[in-house]
Amino acid sequence: MVRFWNLIPDAEAPEDGVLDIEGPIAEEAWWGDECSSKEFRKALAGIGNVTVHINSPGGDVMAGAEIYSALREHSLNGKGRVKVIITALAASAASVVAMAGDEIQISPVAYMMIHNPWSFAVGDAKEMRKTAKTLDEITEGLITAYQQRTGKTRDQLKKMLENETWMSAQTCVDEGFADSIYGGEIRAAACAGGGMLTKATPESIREMCQRWEASRGRKNEDPEEDPEENPEEPEDPEEDPDDPEKEKPQEDPDKEEDKAKRAEIARRARILARHEW
């Protein structure tokens, strides 16, 4: 029987472990002898820190609840830190498992979906009412798991469950269902200005655009120097020892007369040059 989970030692740190949850969280696989919760807890007991990769559409809510509880106990009892990475999809019961992470990361192209639990029922009205009551109680448990992670009110979460809410990576971070986007936040287009934003634009994108526009404003106020607009001052011409207009340091008095003669000759030469003789 194929298990929907696989817990193995981390190749880089054998004392830690990697838990892969792939495909449906199947009831028949979970309650089978080789896939029991007892076996999962036994495997988890020999592991320190755990990295959980999730790509699952969900499935049996009780199986998901058992994995959630085991991972939370592992962390709260100080046995190791639990890090969750949603690689593609964490929907339904798989989203509950994701809430067990001390840290939750999500791929920029991954999604999460939460909804009310559902079931099949056969019988009379009494049996139907009993099933509805059971689903209501399960819903309360789901809300508790989401509330502990997101800090949202129970009414807010109840509405999200009733609406079957799908969330992109950025929405998961904005709504508190994840701590960060794996590999960095999704960046808005460089041309996205305040006038292009809508009421539905996440607050994180709004803040990013505001920072970008503020940085542009600072750049415009203090532009970099353009060599063509601000040409460098020409270098001082080579010192002309015969230029009488240039300040000269005090020299030996005996040479002053010779200097004066040379200066006079140079002055007359410049006058002749100006008249192009």
* pLDDT single digits (tens) 116-147: 998 888 999 999 999 999 999 999 999 999 99
Asked whether the predicted pLDDT for residue 53 surpasses 90, the reply is yes
- Closest Cα partner for 67 from 12, 90, 272? 90
**CATH code at position 82:** 3.90.226.10
Q: Quick one: DSSP state of residue 77?
A: T
86 φ/ψ angles, rounded to the nearest 5 degrees: -85, 110
**Is residue 214 included in any domain, yes or no?**
no
Q: Total domain count for the chain? A: 1
pLDDT of residue 25: 85
Tell whether the model's pLDDT for residue 163 goes beyond 80: yes
Predicted local distance difference test score (pLDDT) of residue 113:
97
Tokens standing for residue 249: 């340091």
Residue 234: predicted pLDDT: 53
pLDDT reported for residue 194: 47
User: Over 50: is that where the pLDDT of 190 sits?
Assistant: no
> Residue with structure tokens 């054998």?
14
How sure is the predictor about 115, in pLDDT bands with cuts at 50, 70 and 90? very high
Average pLDDT score, the chain: 79
Residue 260 pLDDT: 73
Residue (of 9, 115, 18, 14) closest to 61 by Cα position: 115
Q: Is the model more confident about 215 or about 155?
A: 155
- Range in 17-31, 65-79, 161-175 with the lowest mean pLDDT: 17-31
Examine the pLDDT at 250 and tell me if it is beyond 80: no
pLDDT of residue 99: 97
Q: Using the predicted structure, report yes or no on whether residue 182 has a pLDDT greater than 90.
A: no
Confidence of residue 275 (pLDDT cuts 50, 70, 90): very low
Find which of 28-42, 128-142, 221-235, 247-261 is predicted with most confidence, using mean pLDDT: 128-142
DSSP state of 238: P
Give the bridge partners for 19, in sequence order: 7, 52
Give the pLDDT of residue 221.
Answer: 57
Strand partners, 52: 19, 84
Judged against a pLDDT cut of 50, whether residue 30 lies above it is answered with no
Category of 267 on φ-ψ map: left (φ > 0), alpha (ψ -120 to 50) or beta? alpha
Q: Which domain holds residue 106?
A: 5-186
- Indicate the range of 62-66, 131-135, 266-270 predicted with least confidence: 266-270
Residue 191, CB-side half-sphere exposure with 13 Å CA sphere = 0
Distance between CA atoms of 52 and 87, rounded to whole angstroms? Answer: 10
Is 175 inside any structural domain? yes
Distance CA 250, CA 264 (A): 19
Q: What angle do CA 63, 122, 95 make, to 5 degrees?
A: 25
Is residue 72 one of the residues assigned to a domain?
yes
For residues 142 and 115, what is the distance between their CA atoms, to the nearest angstrom?
9
pLDDT of residue 237: 53
48 has a pLDDT exceeding 90: yes
Residue 209 falls inside a structural domain: no
Cα 204 to Cα 201: distance, rounded to the nearest angstrom: 8
pLDDT band at 238, cuts 50/70/90? Answer: low
DSSP E strands in 126-270: the ranges are: 165-168, 180-181
